[in-house]
Structure 1
Amino acid sequence: MQNRQMKHVVRGAFILSLASLVTKILSAVYRVPFQNLVGNTGFYVYQQIYPLYGLGMTFALSGLPVFISKLIAQQKTAAERRTVLQYSCWLLIIMALVIFLILQFGKNWLARAMGDPQLAVLIGTVAWLFLLMPWLAISRGFFQGNFTMVPTALSQVVEQLIRVTVILAAAAWSLQTGWSVYKMGAWAMSGAIFGGIAASGVLLYYWHRWQKENAKLLPFNRMAFGKLTRRFLIEGGSLCLFTSLIILLQLLDSFTIKSNLVTAGLTEAAAKNWKGIYDRGQPLVQLGLVVATSLAATLLPSLSQALQKQQRHQFYRQAATMVRFSFAFSLAAAGGLIALMPGVNRLLFGSTQGDRTLMLYMLSIVLIALISGYNSVFQSLGEYRLPIWALTLGFLIKLGLNGWAVRRWQIFGASMVTVLALTVILSLIWWYSRPYVRQALFRHWFSLKLLFCVGSMMLVVTGLFFSIQHHWQLGRLAGGGVVLFCVAGGAVLFISLARWVRLFTTREWLSLPLGKQILRFFNVSREEK
């Protein structure tokens, strides 16, 4: 009976992880055809407001559902679970209404603060999404807390498919009808609302099958409600902040980059164009993080299991491995993108503008992956204060320096301050983490081996790409084919070098997807330690 339940939990976790991977890829990839359809200025309009949508999705898709599911799973009786669900619902409704009213009544002020009053219509559109947030977060959290992952997984995929379809349809239709970029942006943002409604329908279908007596209201308990509110603010807030780390930094960019570019002497049109070029970095960072965080996340179940069984040594060993995976694959992804940036930029976005800025911005992949890895350890141990203080300091650095850096170095300055803020956050979290986990990146010459593997890969890939480009002078599509060939070759080279220098142990390779096949290909003995 226990084995059957464990198989059910593992199967559910796999389904949810797969759905999450699909939605992340969709969320990153659609921006490429969208930017090609609407251009840099249209992309700027959409990306200025995207962080507001991103925060709503963090609440409804990942941060709060995970926290609520944890709360529900911790309760011992059905009555306690209903109490948590009921009080959580009240809290989220209050929060959603407050955010909705702030965005609706403050949209003109927020748009002016961003330096573009015409953005008000987009802010008003995205505000409606927050009214759907309580139901989406509560229902997903409930199903995940009861280890029923299919409703959450299906709703995530449906939501993203509908949203992406509406966004691309709005972009294509605007070209046919001559809409302004702001009208196009408002319709593109409405994709979040249509996707949220579709996801709500999916969740409502599964919710309807839940026993009706479980929906009865329970008497209000002030002490229990107050305790839950504190947990929401501290634990739930910490989880949401780190889940939306890059989105929050982009929100600060929305308020500081365009207006300071104008202050620096650029015209309105030029400032919007360069902000759109800067925003090309977001989908590239997302794609890099999909690879790095997905591979590191394969260890999360074993991490939780070790903690539940109070196997501290096993927990720290798995945590150290997760941090090494985060560092290795994020650095490989960032290194590959930096080496091939001129080709990637031209293939995806049609020009090589902003190459230097985007190269620097790719370092965010490494920093965010490591921050997420170390923070997962803090979260697992129930420690929240230090990560929040580190995050706050990073945001203050970004807020304080961004305007000055943009006026002095334009969008390169914004990229530089983002990397600086993330470095400060990571440094604090790393310094105060457990010794065994903190030393994971330096044990057995790990960092030096990794730098050798990534550096060698970058040299080979860069040399191959530029030599082919120099000899044949290829166009955008043919050059794109060369980029994809170099990406595949770089991945094979990195894995080959990693095996050659013994970057990971055999046990670590086996914990990766396709790890067994990689070891078999290299004919490695299982006896190796």
Structure 2
Amino acid sequence: MDRSSKEMMKGAAILTLAAIFSKILSAMYRVPFQNIVGDTGFYIYQQVYPLYGILLALCTYAFPVMVSKIVAERKQVESKEEIERILQISSIYLTIVGLVWFLFLKLGAGAVADWMGDPLLAPLIELMAYPFLLLPVLSVSKGWFQANYNMIPSAFSQSAEQVVRVLVIIIASIVLMSMEASLYDVGKGAVMGSLAGSITGVIILLLFLRKQGLSFRMLRSFSFKKGDWTILRQLTVTGTAMGMGSMMLVLYQLMDSLNVYSLLVTGGTNGDAAKILKGIYDRGQPLVQMGVVVATSLSLAVVPIIASAFEDKKSDIVKQQARLAVKAGVLFGAAAAVGLINIMEPLNIMLFQDSAGSGVLAVFAAAVLLASVILTINAVLQGMGDYHLAAWSIVASLFIKYGLNLLLIPHLQTMGAAIATVIALLFVMVMVIWKLRQRVGFLLSRIFYLRLLSGLAGMTIVVQAFLHLPIIAVDSRLVSSVLTLTAVMAGAWVFFKISWRKGLFSPAEVRQIPLGKKIERIFGEMT
């Protein structure tokens, strides 16, 4: 492996760790936030959060990666001045994109809020417009550093952005609730956390640029050349396609924001009750996000190897590593999903103080497995230079999700929204599996799934046995916490004891999985 490949893999590892930290933090803060503001307050923030989630995906995964790719491809053959020109074009284009988003949300906040069925959300949507003005600085700066194999600025800014955002959200909600402010004003305070986090990210990136004697120069006189349209097309089409995977779950949240509450109200549910129902349903978002992060952080660790092997035209290694990634994604995604389904009621009480909506959340938890498989395969396909089918499948699934919401929610309320999400994800999963089989052939054997099912069955039996112990006051938060944590540890031990010893992974594969050696030491060598 040459030096550039080693630098690429090291950089990918740094960015992956930063992404894992940021996603875990982004999931975890919503638990204390819900405890502070209640289900109605949680509903208010979750209605507008998807807008920030889209911005985060664009300026963290989509555009920086594409800018980095364009610069890295051209810096070997282009002059320094031409590279600066590419960065200027990218900056101007992304400034226009940011302005379009800003104007749409700023001027159209009332219309979007009316679409959601809650006009009181308009001021929050207006506030959410401002972070989009920072899109060009966040995207181009990160892309420049990543093109030069310097991942520290991107990782540091991303992590700091989330830390500041979470601190502002929690502190603002505590202060405003103590002042007996309205829940919509508390929501405004939470939205300010997103702006504060984005500004923090920009400041850190500018400091790194200054440290290296660089500056963020965008507006210098120049004229477009014929080849510049290729750059714009790459940023628009390929850049967006590359970011669709990271936006998938937040786009489903946006579909829910647009019509779940309004459909509940038009279906006869009282407005205040509908807000509580939507807030309870939104409890599932951090649970699914956490499950997906845990599952995919293990499976995606081998993706840089796939990208390097594909570039070197080593098809055997590509297929071998693709198989390992999919195995890990299926294994850990299934374990997380089935585990969540089993412990949902006590977990709901432990985290959110009551068991409301546990059945809906259990159905919603199936999304962990589907999303884990989708994101793993999408990353594998991107490692092989295939960006578009998964992206178009996700776009098509948004229409499926929105349409099924219209069909199911009037009859099943939030259970219909959960089912709609699962069906939409199932569609995407089928499409990406089909594409991967086209590229590398059949990956997993029937015996793999049988052995996996035996582990899941063993875990379910043990967890259900714990949950049905004759304990007094099972609705107690303390008892639920003890019961949940005990059941999780026992279920995980049984799952890995059964599955791991069934030979799901070869010894060589175990060595490549993060924590694989430690798991093997605990549960024994594979048979």
Tell me the TM-score normalised to structure 2 length.
0.95
Work out the CA distance in 2 between the residues paired with 1:249 and 1:35. Answer: 20
Q: CA deviation at 1:463?
A: 1.4
Answer whether contact 2:169 2:190 (CA < 8 A) is retained: yes
- The number of residue pairs the alignment matches comes to 523
Q: CA deviation at 1:21?
A: 1.3
1:509 aligns to what? 510
Helix, strand or coil at the partner of 2:355:
coil
Work out the CA distance in 2 between the residues paired with 1:214 and 1:79. Answer: 14
Work out the CA distance in 2 between the residues paired with 1:145 and 1:87. Answer: 16
2:500 aligns to what? 499
Answer whether contact 2:209 2:215 (CA < 8 A) is retained: no
Q: Which moved more, 1:218-227 or 1:448-457?
A: 218-227
1:14 aligns to what? 13
Q: CA deviation at 1:445?
A: 1.2
Against the structure 1 CA distance between its residues 120 and 524, is the aligned structure 2 distance closer, same or farther, given a 3 Å change threshold? same
Q: CA deviation at 1:521?
A: 4.1
Work out the CA distance in 1 between the residues paired with 2:250 and 2:473. Answer: 40
Q: CA deviation at 1:435?
A: 4.5
1:41-440 matches, cutoff 5 A: 41-75=40-74, 76=76, 77=78, 78-212=80-214, 217=220, 219-435=222-438, 437=440, 439-440=442-443
Amino acid at match of 1:229: L
Answer whether contact 1:288 1:365 (CA < 8 A) is retained: yes
Question: Which runs of 5 or more residues in structure 2 are unaligned?
Answer: none
Helix, strand or coil at the partner of 1:340:
helix
Work out the CA distance in 2 between the residues paired with 1:384 and 1:513. Answer: 26
Question: CA offsets per residue over residues 352-372 of structure 1, 9 Å max, x none?
Answer: 111111111111111111111
Q: Which moved more, 1:59-68 or 1:75-84?
A: 75-84
Answer whether contact 1:82 1:214 (CA < 8 A) is retained: no
Answer whether contact 2:137 2:216 (CA < 8 A) is retained: no
Q: CA deviation at 1:320?
A: 1.6
Question: Which runs of 5 or more residues in structure 1 are unaligned?
Answer: none
Work out the CA distance in 1 between the residues paired with 2:221 and 2:261. Answer: 50
Work out the CA distance in 1 between the residues paired with 2:27 and 2:284. Answer: 10
Work out the CA distance in 2 between the residues paired with 1:356 and 1:478. Answer: 20
Against the structure 1 CA distance between its residues 382 and 480, is the aligned structure 2 distance closer, same or farther, given a 3 Å change threshold? same
Work out the CA distance in 1 between the residues paired with 2:214 and 2:476. Answer: 62
Work out the CA distance in 1 between the residues paired with 2:9 and 2:384. Answer: 22
Question: CA offsets per residue over residues 38-79 of structure 1, 9 Å max, x none?
Answer: 000000000000001100111112222222222222121434
Question: CA offsets per residue over residues 353-411 of structure 1, 9 Å max, x none?
Answer: 11111111111111111111222233233333422332232111112221221111000
1:25 aligns to what? 24
Answer whether contact 2:33 2:170 (CA < 8 A) is retained: yes
Work out the CA distance in 2 between the residues paired with 1:316 and 1:410. Answer: 43
Q: CA deviation at 1:321?
A: 1.2
Against the structure 1 CA distance between its residues 520 and 473, is the aligned structure 2 distance closer, same or farther, given a 3 Å change threshold? closer
Q: Which moved more, 1:428-437 or 1:244-253?
A: 428-437
Against the structure 1 CA distance between its residues 474 and 361, is the aligned structure 2 distance closer, same or farther, given a 3 Å change threshold? closer
1:476 aligns to what? 477
Q: CA deviation at 1:436?
A: 7.0
Answer whether contact 1:342 1:355 (CA < 8 A) is retained: yes
Amino acid at match of 1:180: S
Amino acid at match of 1:59: L
Answer whether contact 2:70 2:231 (CA < 8 A) is retained: no
Q: Which moved more, 1:138-147 or 1:218-227?
A: 218-227
Answer whether contact 1:431 1:438 (CA < 8 A) is retained: no
Q: CA deviation at 1:486?
A: 1.6
Answer whether contact 1:151 1:202 (CA < 8 A) is retained: yes
Q: CA deviation at 1:474?
A: 6.5
Amino acid at match of 1:57: L
Helix, strand or coil at the partner of 1:434:
helix
Work out the CA distance in 2 between the residues paired with 1:385 and 1:98. Answer: 24
Against the structure 1 CA distance between its residues 437 and 453, is the aligned structure 2 distance closer, same or farther, given a 3 Å change threshold? farther
Question: CA offsets per residue over residues 298-355 of structure 1, 9 Å max, x none?
Answer: 1012111111211012112211211111111011001111000001100000111111
Alpha-carbon RMSD: 2.1
Answer whether contact 1:320 1:436 (CA < 8 A) is retained: no
Is 1:449 aligned to residue 448 of structure 2? no
Percent identity between matched residues is 37
Against the structure 1 CA distance between its residues 521 and 182, is the aligned structure 2 distance closer, same or farther, given a 3 Å change threshold? closer
Work out the CA distance in 2 between the residues paired with 1:490 and 1:213. Answer: 53
2:469 aligns to what? 467
Amino acid at match of 1:188: A
Against the structure 1 CA distance between its residues 11 and 386, is the aligned structure 2 distance closer, same or farther, given a 3 Å change threshold? closer
Amino acid at match of 2:31: V
Against the structure 1 CA distance between its residues 214 and 248, is the aligned structure 2 distance closer, same or farther, given a 3 Å change threshold? closer
Tell me the TM-score normalised to structure 1 length.
0.94
